[in-house]
Structure 1
Amino acid sequence: MTMGRLDGICAVVTGAGSGLGRAIVERFTAEGAHVVALDRSAAKLAKLAADLGDLVTTVTGDVTSYADNVRACETAVARQGRLDSFVANAGLWDFGRSLADSDPDDLQAGFDELFAVNVKALVLGAKAALPALTTSRGSVICTLSNAAFYPVGGGPLYVASKHAGVGLVRQLAYELAPEVRVNAVAPGGMATDLRGPASMGLDATSIESTIPIREYVKSTTALHLDVRPEDYVGAYVLLAARDESSTVTGTVIDVSSFGIPRRPTES
């Protein structure tokens, strides 16, 4: 029998019901991991469980709740006897709302809601997972964005939240060493169900339904790829596979190619 790169490990993945989160779950289970999938959508989790069966355990909850993060981590330990990776993947986008075009009330409420998911949830998830990860000498893996390095990946709220994520990864990598590694992956654009803050009226809006994101990514990036969520998940496997990344902590892997100008093709 061929062994997977993640045979025997147990991971919690947040925002696991669709998009990049679901792609991570599918790849992790294909590589031999058991995944505890945390998402606020019971319907999405039910579909995930129907498709993957015993390879996944689902927990309906809110990533901004410390108690829900603890419940997911405790579920992992109860089900598999261990937790090896906590993948803090859930996020919100601000749909590029600029400072000038944003209502002051929307900015205040949107900041609190978006930062709660994109930043506070990383802190709460890492805290909830820390006892089990210390025991297993495991790792935290955060989903950031090319917006963690460059402007224009969103508006000021989103870009600031992803830059904050870089600082958080570096600080936690320092604090939690040597027992726990802390890293992040920075994907580029992709067509998913990623939504925005309800307080800004963006909770019913998904990136794939409002923006020709696949065409944009293909036409503006160096590799001219029609990128899908599954194209980004290899870096998560690398960081979760202890034998392949045992020396890696405090690192953000940029998998977006957005930093490289597109070279025109010959006609």
Structure 2
Amino acid sequence: MDANQTPAPAGWLQGDVALITGGGSGLGLALVERFLLEGAKVGVLERSHEKVDALRARFGDDVVATQGDVRSYEDNSRAVAETVNRFGKLDIFIGNAAIWDHGASLMSLTPEQLANGFDELFPVNVKGYLLGAKAAAPELIKSEGSMIFTLSNSAFYPGGGGPLYTASKHAAVGLIRELAYELAPKVRVNGVGPCGMASDLRGPASLGQENMRIMDSRSPEAIASILPLQFFPQAADFTGPFVLLASRANNRTLSGVLLNADAGLAIRGIRHTAGGLNL
């Protein structure tokens, strides 16, 4: 470095190692990018072979990408092992992989769709978090690290999804609180609930939504119009709360906390001004 150059400031996560599920696109990819910028090394558990290949090509040795399914404990455990083998430890686990129900309502679904949708969505959104936590916990206890789970505005109030998705995010709230209780004092466990954004979030195949992205049914203008801050957030706009919660220097006191990162939506909640129950 030239003597006249000012060294770049150290990031909030300098020297830390994180594992992020669903890190191949959307918020997960934005978290990979931000955590690297903050000085961390990153492991990713990602189901898509193509996204795993893209992560390896783009980030090289700074990221270890494991192809696997969050619904499998063995895949979660393998992602932890590969991350620790590469980087020597694990400080942060972020449960992020999820699917959405595109707002499919109770009355719009047949009983078979409701049952099959539940059996497909809950294993990703809830069991995936639980199995990831189980796999990561021993290493996080060693490092006295943290877990962070991606929630949603649907974890706080209705209208951001249908009953399947909303129930799954409320279940994740209970999981966060229980794990924060069980893993204290060694591991801090928290959640971040973003509002709508452009991402690759898709729906259950059992509802015919496996190729539907979240923005296929909503526009940036429609999302911005319901937010008090009146802008359409990008995935990167939500990464700051995760950095705060993960940082040892900036968060020694928050555990069992849910950060509602919804551009002010909680001021008034989600309201539908037209339509209603269609019987």
TM-score of the superposed pair, with normalisation by structure 2:
0.91
* 1:93 has 2:97 as partner: no
**Quick check: 2:224–2:232 contact (8 Å CA) kept in 1?**
yes
* 1:48 has 2:55 as partner: yes
Q: What is the aligned partner in structure 2 of residue 28 from structure 1?
A: 35
Q: CA deviation at 1:112?
A: 1.2
Residue 184 of structure 1: which of 178, 181, 191 is its match?
191
Mapped partners of 1:216, 1:24: distance in 2: 25
- Percent sequence identity over aligned pairs: 52
**Quick check: 1:146–1:186 contact (8 Å CA) kept in 2?**
yes
**Quick check: 2:102–2:217 contact (8 Å CA) kept in 1?**
no
* 1:151 has 2:158 as partner: yes
Q: What is the aligned partner in structure 2 of residue 252 from structure 1?
A: 258
Mapped partners of 1:209, 1:107: distance in 2: 22
Residue ranges of structure 1 left out of the alignment (5+ in a row): 263-267
Q: CA deviation at 1:53?
A: 2.0
Q: Show CA shifts across 1:83-125 (max 9, x none).
A: 0000000011000000001011111011011111111111100
Q: CA deviation at 1:209?
A: 2.7
Counterparts of 1:73-84 in structure 2 under 5 Å? Answer: 73-84=80-91
Q: What is the aligned partner in structure 1 of residue 235 from structure 2?
A: 229
Mapped partners of 2:56, 2:195: distance in 1: 27
* 1:118 has 2:119 as partner: no
Q: CA deviation at 1:210?
A: 3.1
Mapped partners of 2:138, 2:125: distance in 1: 22
Q: CA deviation at 1:50?
A: 1.9
Mapped partners of 1:48, 1:219: distance in 2: 34
* 1:239 has 2:249 as partner: no
Residue 135 of structure 2: which of 128, 135, 140 is its match?
128
Mapped partners of 2:218, 2:228: distance in 1: 20
Q: What is the aligned partner in structure 2 of residue 71 from structure 1?
A: 78
**Quick check: 2:17–2:92 contact (8 Å CA) kept in 1?**
yes
Q: Secondary structure at the match of 2:131?
A: helix
TM-score of the superposed pair, with normalisation by structure 1:
0.95
**Quick check: 2:238–2:261 contact (8 Å CA) kept in 1?**
yes
Q: Show CA shifts across 1:52-79 (max 9, x none).
A: 2222110000001000000111111111
In the TM superposition, structure 1's runs of 4+ consecutive aligned residues that sit over 6 Å from their partners are none
Q: What is the aligned partner in structure 1 of residue 274 from structure 2?
A: none
Q: CA deviation at 1:204?
A: 1.0
Mapped partners of 1:217, 1:232: distance in 2: 15
Q: What is the aligned partner in structure 2 of residue 265 from structure 1?
A: none
**Quick check: 1:221–1:260 contact (8 Å CA) kept in 2?**
no
C-alpha RMSD of the superposition: 1.1
> Which structure: larger Rg?
2
**Quick check: 2:98–2:125 contact (8 Å CA) kept in 1?**
yes
